[in-house]
Structure formats: structure tokens, C-alpha cells
Amino acid sequence: MGAEHGQVWYLPRVQPIVLKGKKMTAIQNRLGRNAELIARAEDIMPGACLGLFQLPSDQAMVIASGSGPYLWDVEGNQYIDYVLGSGPMMLGHAHPAVVEAVQRQVAKGSTFYTLNEPIIELSHQIVDAVPCGEAIKYVSTGTEATFHALRLARAFTEKSTVLKFEGGYHGAHDYALVGAINGLRDGEDRPRSDSAGIPTPVSATVLVSPFNDPDAARRMIAENANELAAVIVEPLQRGIPPARGFLQSLREATRDHGVLLIFDEVVTGFRLAYGGAQEYYGVEPDLATYGKAIGGGYPIAAVCGRRDVLALSDPARRGSDSYAYLGGTLSGNPVAAVAGLATLNEMRRPGVYERLFATGNRLRQGIETLGRDLGIPVQAPGEGPVFQVFFTERPIRNHQDSSAADAALAWQFGLELLDRGLFHTPGAKFYISTVHGELEIARTLEAFEGALRAVKARRA
């Protein structure tokens, strides 16, 4: 069963907003089953969380279910979801086309460690959609995809160093967690690792340049050309769009110096356009990494791009110096593949991207207008379906700018949104799904206003 565009298939059980004194709050019951389960998690799960997403204990919740743009916690509180599983749930939760495809596949077997029809079909659909697509290989997470793309680049160029951008996030491996969260300190030319336990010789192979500074990047590429295997970039870095000509200048400098250009499209793939950021910004890299949306909520990720580079992962080369190992137990898993196929099928429907962008832009403009009206310096850079809220007047062009914004205010604002029934990672990105509609936009703008007023009152 496919869901017709615009048809509401989910359950919009909208809770009444309760006025409690002056504070408008939608969420009141988080101290029963939520608190019990969180205490149980705290016993043995450090931080009682799964990764970075961690809320103060009186606001933390355990999610029981999701449908369309909504989530419910174990006490029945309803949230409009702007996390979307950190991006994958672009169609919303439990989309009928995805549920049906997955159920059908699960009944036929879950994983085979070898070729299956859905993964071959998904491969063709991705390669056809992606401008740089000539060949493709799979892993299970975005982290693995960027790790293997960098390895392929090193194998292909026979060089060891990689260049990334300050504040750019490419997952949790040792090469990615350099200059991603901490950035560069003033006057430093070596980036800091973002995690303990990363061997210094590994982080020494990673150079970091400021995002949106084409001259600095060109200089670094030219000066390090003899050691540099690849430049990896999030084309839309977190919520920060590339300045005009920035991606193009990376393309030209890498080509001139025999360096591969990798677009990390784990977020932007099939989200900014069907052909991802390369189509949207009109720049074609050598390799691109995909995750999140291509699995519709199931673990699958890919490295896609030049055939001559991906050819190094052909096991027929095993034993030769050029063989680059790529793969894993669940790579190309058919359940994830059918979820991905169902998702891409929905994304090809006419008007889907227009709607995604229109929804995101209304929310972005809405919060900026509210900020102006209330005298709070707030901006929401991004591209349509993915944006971030910063409290600052300073234009956000790079990590230094976003780090200078008022993070404490962003955190407070995020917690106020949670209290008003918006599920959001305080201080991080908002993701829009194809099923965030008029009702959700209206409620979200109402929550934005309430939260902005609350943080303003607290500051006064």
C-alpha cells in the first residue's frame, strides 16, 4: 500500500495545550514509567543514553512508538518529531509503504551475507540518481561509509593524509573525530581530537581547514598535495550552507592536485534533492557517502562514485597492494534495502521536494520573524528540510561563527520546546519529514513563540 501524496495515514492524536499558570505546557507526565525506565537504564548504561542525545533527568523520556510526524513516550505524551531518528525517517515514522515492504521481506529472511535482489535494485536506483554515481558498495552506518571512502581514497592515491573542515561531522571513527566538535583553537594549526582514545599518529594524518574559506582550503591542498589523498566535506555543514563557489573551488583544487573529493551526503543524500547535494549545488565529487535516508530507518549506508576508485574493493584484488577492504556482516542487508527502495519510491512522487522545502522554510522564516518581533537575535540557517537555530546576530558561515552563538540559550530554548511537545535535540538540527503538515507547522510556530518568550523572560 502506498500512501498518496497529501493523504494522512498516521494518527494525529493532538493533545490539548494546557495552560499551567503563565506557562503553556503540553508535557506533564514524565515522572512515572519514563522515570522508572530511565533509572533502570542508568543502572548499567553510562549516561542513560545511546549516544550524544541526553536530556536532563526530569525531561528525559523513553519513546514507545512513532507514527507519521509524531512520537509517543511510555506515558502517552505526544511529540511532534524534529529529530526523525537523526534524519533517516524522512517519510515520517511507520510509513505504510515501508512497513509493508519490510514485513514482506522479513518473512522471506533477514540477512544472507550475499547478493540479493533488493540490494541490486537499490544500487541501480542510487547510481542512477547520483551525479557522480558509477559504482556503489555498502556498509551499515554513515561512520563506516566515510571511514571506507577515506580508505579507498588513500588506497587509490597511495597517499595518507586527509583534509576535513572545522566543525564537519563524518561519524565516530578515529579520522572523523578530529576538529569536528572542538574545532581549532585560535592560532593553532593542528586540530584537536574530539574523543579520548584516538592515537596521535592517526589524528596527525587529518588536516582541518575552516569551512567556507576557499583560499585557506586551496592553500592547504596545494601545500600538502604530495601527502593528501582526499578532501572530505559535508556540502551543507550541519546547518551551514556552502558559500557561493566554495564547493566548486574544492572541486577545482582537488582536481588540479591529484586529490579525491568526497562529499559526505549522509545527511544531504536524497534530502536536498533526489540527486542530493551534488545535484542541488551543481558540483560533482569523486566519491559520495550515503546513510540515513537510503535505509528508511534501517541500518544501511553506502560509498558511491567513480568506478576506478570503488574497483579497489573488488576481492579479486586480494593479495595485491591495491586491494582496499570494504564490507561487513550486514552490508547490503535485504530488509534495509527494501526499506530504502520504498523510501526512494515515495521521494520520487511529484511535489515531494517542493513540499519539504516549503515546510522547512516556513518554520525557518517563522522563528526568525518571531525573534525579530520579540527582540531576540535568532537565525535558522540551513536548506529547507534541515536547519539549525542559532542565537546570535553574527552571520553563520563556519564553525567559529556557530561556536560564538549563545549555546546556553539554544539549550534552554530546546528544553522549552520539549516541554511544549516538540521532540528536538536541544542545540542541534531540525529535520523535516514529508508528513509534517499544516497542523504540525501551526503547533510548532506556537511552541517556538512560547519557548522564545520563556527564554526571554528567564533572561530578563
Ligand X SMILES: Cc1ncc(COP(=O)(O)O)c(C=O)c1O
Kindly state the smallest distance separating residue 452's Cβ from ligand X, in Å: 27
Instruction: Determine which one of 73, 81, 213, 264 is catalytic.
Output: 264
Judged by CB, which is closer to ligand X: 176, or 367?
A: 176
Q: Has 189 been annotated as catalytic?
A: no
Spatial distance between the Cα atoms of 333 and 382, rounded to a whole number of angstroms:
32
Q: Please identify, using beta-carbon distances, which residue of 72 and 263 lies nearer to ligand X.
A: 263
The beta strand positions in 44-115, using DSSP E, are 63-67, 70-73, 78-81
Q: Are strands 228-233 and 161-165 parallel, antiparallel or unpaired?
A: parallel
Three-state secondary-structure class, residue 382: strand
Residue 215 known to be catalytic: no
- Beta-sheet strands, E only, within 29-96: 63-67, 70-73, 78-81
Cβ neighbours around 112 below 10 Å, total: 11
Give the active site residue among 137, 159, 164, 292.
292
Per CB under 6 A, residues contacting ligand X are 86, 141-143, 146, 169-171, 234, 264, 266-267, 291
Find the catalytic residue in 79, 82, 138, 169: 169
CB-closest chain residue to ligand X: 142
Cα–Cα dist 290/296, whole Å? 12
Q: Which is nearer to ligand X, 171 or 214 (CB)?
A: 171
In the complex, minimum distance from the CB of residue 290 to ligand X, in angstroms, rounded to a whole number? 10
Shortest distance (Å) from residue 143 CB to ligand X: 3
β-strand partners of 145: none
Q: Which is nearer to ligand X, 74 or 231 (CB)?
A: 231
Sign of the dihedral through C-alpha 437, 439, 440, 441: positive
With 0-12 CB in 10 A as exposed, 13-18 as middle and 19+ as buried, what is 99? middle
CA distance 333 to 127: 18
| Minimum gap (Å) between residue 416 Cβ and ligand X | 24
Nearer to ligand X, 264 or 419 (CB): 264
Determine the straight-line distance between the first and last CA of the chain, rounded to whole angstroms. Answer: 53
Assess whether 264 carries a catalytic annotation: yes
Nearest approach, Cβ of 82 to ligand X (angstroms)? 15
Q: Which residues are catalytic?
A: 169, 264, 292
